[in-house]
Chain A
Amino acid sequence: MADTINQTTRKGFLVDTSRCIGCRSCQVACKQWNKLDADKTANKGTFENPRDLTPALYNRIRFIEKETSGEMTWQFFNERCMHCGDAGCMKVCPSPGALYRTKDGIVAFNKDKCISCKYCVSACPFNIPRYGTDDKVSKCHLCTDRISGGMTPACAKACPTETLKYGKRSDLIAKATAAKKTLYGVDDLLGLGVVYALEGPPEQYGLPAKPGIPMSIFLWKDVIKPLGILGFWGSIGAMLLHYVTIGPKKVDDDLNVKEDGHE
């Protein structure tokens, strides 16, 4: 079962990749607002740096360079927590309140409640949560602290081209639909909180075409867990039933050998 989410008041992002110029203000603004340390990096022959999300990097731009029949494209993709409507991380998190949904529908985290089990790492359809030296979850939380103060998330505030647009999710989607954008994440996983307007197939951006919580995680949490509880009580019940119907196998029941004396 997914946690409850109010789709009408839900807030979110619309990331219009066609507008992104790869300036990475979002990366830096995020670090600044969230007081995150710089990551040590090396140039390995690309502008893209760091090469992956880190515990101190909540969002980053992927540089996607492609040449098809002589025509060059260089696309910039903002990678971050998608704030899924049906969030795998929340589904598996055993510590209530460590990952939680705000009233705006955002998946936020509370390091104090995180018990470092890292289940969310495996359950995320987009491989987003990271653990740092503090061994606590970290990821984009859409600057819930700014939002609660009536401000725009730091990355969206810094974005010069309106690639990152924050607002009421339904409004953002309605606007982008009206502009005939190809959207990603409108309905998947009860709707992603971060909806993308893409210029090509999702795979081109390293996105799963049909994002979903991994099957094994689904089986674990939605099948095995309830069945397991059932099975546990079932087995106890069965034993009790056995005891009261068939009864125990007492040694004395059928053995008439007299072996008295000792006792």
Chain B
Amino acid sequence: MTNHWIDFKNSDVILIMGANPAENHPVSFRWIMKAKDAGAKVICVDPRFTRSAAKSNLYAPLRSGTDIAFLGGLINYILQNKLYFEQYVRDYTNSAYLVSGDFKLPGELAGLFSGYDPKKRSYDTKSWSFQKNADESIKKDPTMQDPNCVFQLLKKHYGRYTPELVSKTTGTPKEKLLEVYKLYASTGKPDKAGTSLYAMGWTQHTVGTQNIRAMSIIQLLLGNMGVAGGGINALRGESNVQGSTDHGLLFHILPGYMPVPLADLKDTAAYIEKHTPKSKDPQSANWWGNRNKYLVSYMKAIYGAKATKENDFGYAWLPKLDPGMNASWLMIFDNMIKGKFKGFFAWGQNPACSGSNSTKVRNALTKLDWMVTTNLFDNETASFWKGPGMDPASVKTEVFFLPAAASFEKEGSISNSGRWAQWRTAAVKPLGQSKPDAEIIHELFQKLKALYAKEGGALPEQLTNLTWNYGFKRADGTIKSIDIHAVAKEINGYFLEDVEDRPKPLKPGEKAPPPPPPGTPKKMLGKKGELVGGFAQLQADGSTSCGSWIYCQSYNEKGNMMARRGKKDPTGLGMFPEWAWCWPVNRRIIYNRASCDPAGKPYNLKKSVVYWNPAAVQPTGALGAWVGDVPDGPWPPMADEKEGKKPFIMRADGVAAIFGPGLKDGPFPEHYEPVECPVPENFFSKQMSNPASKIFKDANIKEDVLSTCDVRFPLVATTYRVTEHWQTGVMTRNTPWLLELQPRQFCEISVELAKEKNIGNGDLVEVSSARGKIEAVAMVTPRMKPFKIGDMTVHEVGLPWCFGWHTPGVGDAANLLTPTAGDANTMIPETKAFMVGIARKG
């Protein structure tokens, strides 16, 4: 999230799309209701009339997988009716930038952007670049009239997204569409804020990343980024999934969202060169220019004294990806079923239920020699070998089950969607033999280290060189148990040497200050052994360590900031700066400088996140300071031509990207149908599905099949979670109170479809796709409605994915039906729009 949960209350219009907070983030509705109390309007766009829809002021249905069409229509509406926040768009986005003359839009190239290579299913993005001046700076047209400027290209591109065409594609009645557009576009006024709440309903598509890009463009056009009650807010589906990605859980990032090095980047210098953006713009803070400090401090954290200047801080030991290699979720099981893995740790996960095309996942597990599952309860993955259709005698995989402690049984931090890291203490002791994950990892580490020492083996340094300073060390160097505070401190980072506070390098033409009188003590940033105060103090020379730069400051000399429980709310906006701690540097709303005009005056005086007080005196004696939330950098606002900086400091050019050349499937979102869809044509172009998405079509993998426009599977299906269960339900299905509320797999269908298929409410039905079938209880409800798509009537059905065969009588996993198809950028599986058939059983 750019903002945070409590901030929803500051919103004027809340757009719930691709999410269902009333059901899956019920606590968030506390703040949505507070916004409503203050007069806000809530819009819900969803294929189903959900519990969120029930509480919204305006509900619009749309067919799963057509969000870009819907949002593209909104962009078009905003532009046609000039409802955008012009000053914001001009000053804070790249809309005035000129794009290369070679760039072509999908409207001109039958649904493709320029540079597509059908063989590689990828784009050469050269033509997507900006025009440059002789001094390498980007060419701009401040009037935004140049036909090659981003703003005009945007207008041209989304000019195709007329309400008629959008309605024809999405199935949303035109008048509903316009009602939503009108209401949401009303937040383009400087003192109005609209927020976007999304979750897996947007991400789990082959165009998932572009769904969010489309909304980002809308938020930028309306000036909703950086403001209270605005932003792009991903409602995370797990209490600590934010923390896990922050700390490098995903295959392609190191902690702190630093790219995992590729094998062709031989050393730190090459890595830094490739991954450090450069800017000639003196007004751009270009924060990623600090990449070298973060990488070196990270390596110093994990390798400690073993990481030296001479050995390039152990860069060689960092795991690398081969260029072009993709190690995402779908690929793991694709490779597993091809026999490329010997062993597998299913840690705190249940892929036999959660993995799309679960049959493929389950069959892949049979190809392993061994599998370790770490979980609270036995589940479909741990017991896959005795699941439906399995012959236990012929499964060779040896399975180990490690009982893990639940979150209430261990101490540590949890980072919520709003980036707040909140420290928790253990409420109860772990049951039986179960242990906190950290202890299990620790034991594993010690055993592996001992095995390397005894038997040797390939590439031992990656493991044996780890500092592992996580507790009191015995004489033999082993640690009895993990001190989780030591882990938190390592993440924050230490000064490994005394570090002097050196003055900033001089700008050209600047006069050096007079040297201090001899004998003046050196001004120190920190002394050896002290915790680093914040990431601005990190060094690239190995004198500091930091396990995840964005968490630097979370546990410093002032104490464990995450354990704070201060209830002060000076702004009244619910930022609670002394409650826990939030990355980066306790900034509750990121890009908050964009909530002010270039002179630092808030666009909305009533809900001012930050403002520039030119009269404030800083500790250094300088005049002028930001007041309010922690600003995106201390520099004055950009109207100050000498010192001022642009607000989007994580962008190399300091402005937000309406035109985004960084993605694999286009600089503007374009509507493509899901890989499985009910329509024979894409009404927007000749290109049916995302041309850059990953398609699995190995003839040897019989599990990977797709079925578009197949009479056997004429219904659009989508999967979702329900309030009563969590994820695959391993925890909740084992909680009888929750199973009582939602006792088995069901399938929501419309009254019209039920009539057509002769299905009664509560009947047992079989839902099937090209990949599998499941039993479910039919929930016949007017909350589901058929869509009118072009001349066709298209039915959609909904299935929760929280059930699995391991709990008797609840039915098997909905993911047995979903396809193996990945988003072009993230490879997230497309489980939110696929095709099924339905029939009454018995």
| A positions within 8 Å CB-CB of B | 19, 21-25, 27-28, 31-32, 37-47, 49-50, 65, 67, 72-76, 160-162
Contact = CB atoms under 8 A, between A and B. Distances in A.
Nearest to B30: A160
Contacts of B22: 21-23
Contacts of A44: 761-762, 777
Contact of A43 (B27, B743, B782): B743
Given A28-B741, A32-B737, A162-B33, A21 B51 contact: yes
A141 to B, nearest CB: 19
Contacts of A31: 737
Contacts of A76: 51, 54
B762 A21 contact: no
Contacts of A47: 722, 742, 779
B59 A74 contact: no
12 contacts: A21-B22, A24-B723, A28-B741, A38-B739, A43-B746, A44-B761, A45-B761, A47-B779, A49-B742, A75-B54, A76-B54, A160-B27
A42 B779 contact: no
B23 interface: yes
B77 interface: no
A44 to B, nearest CB: 4
Interface in B62-118: none
Contacts of A24: 723-724, 741
A65 B779 CA distance: 12
A181 B743 CA distance: 35
B26 interface: yes
Given A21-B29, A65-B783, A39 B740 contact: yes
B517 interface: no
Nearest to B811: A43
Given A21-B26, A45-B762, A72 B782 contact: yes
Contact of A49 (B53, B743, B761): B743
Given A21-B22, A23-B51, A45-B778, 7 more contacts: A43-B742, A43-B777, A45-B763, A74-B783, A76-B51, A160-B27, A161-B33
Contacts of B737: 27-28, 31-32, 38
Given A21-B22, A23-B26, A43-B742, A65 B781 contact: yes
B532 to A, nearest CB: 37
Contacts of A46: 761, 779
Nearest to B751: A67
Contacts, number: 100
Given A44-B762, A45-B761, A65-B781, A25 B743 contact: no
Contacts of B740: 38-41, 49-50
Nearest to A25: B26
Contacts of B550: none
B28 to A, nearest CB: 8
A75 to B, nearest CB: 7
Interface of B: 22-23, 26-27, 29-30, 33, 49, 51-55, 59, 722-724, 736-744, 746, 760-763, 777-783
Nearest to B738: A28
B780 A45 contact: yes
A72 B49 contact: yes
Nearest to A31: B737
A22 B54 contact: yes
Contacts of A32: 737
Report the 4 A-B pairs with minimum CB-CB distance, sorted nearest first.
A38-B736, A45-B762, A45-B761, A74-B54
Nearest to B52: A21
A164 to B, nearest CB: 12
B341 to A, nearest CB: 38
Most B CB contacts (10 A, CB to CB) among A24, A25, A40, A50 go to A24
Nearest to B809: A42
B59 A72 contact: yes
Contacts of A162: 30, 33
A40 B744 CA distance: 12
A20 to B, nearest CB: 8
Contacts of B30: 160-162
Contacts of A67: 782
A43 B779 CA distance: 9
A21 B761 CA distance: 23
Contacts of A42: 743-744
A37 B778 CA distance: 27
A86 B562 CA distance: 51
B743 A160 contact: no
A211 to B, nearest CB: 26
Contacts of B59: 72
A161 B761 CA distance: 31
Given A38-B739, A42-B743, A46-B779, A74 B26 contact: no
Contacts of A72: 49, 53-54, 59, 782-783
Most B Cβ at <10 Å: residue of A45, A49, A50, A72: A45
A79 B775 CA distance: 32
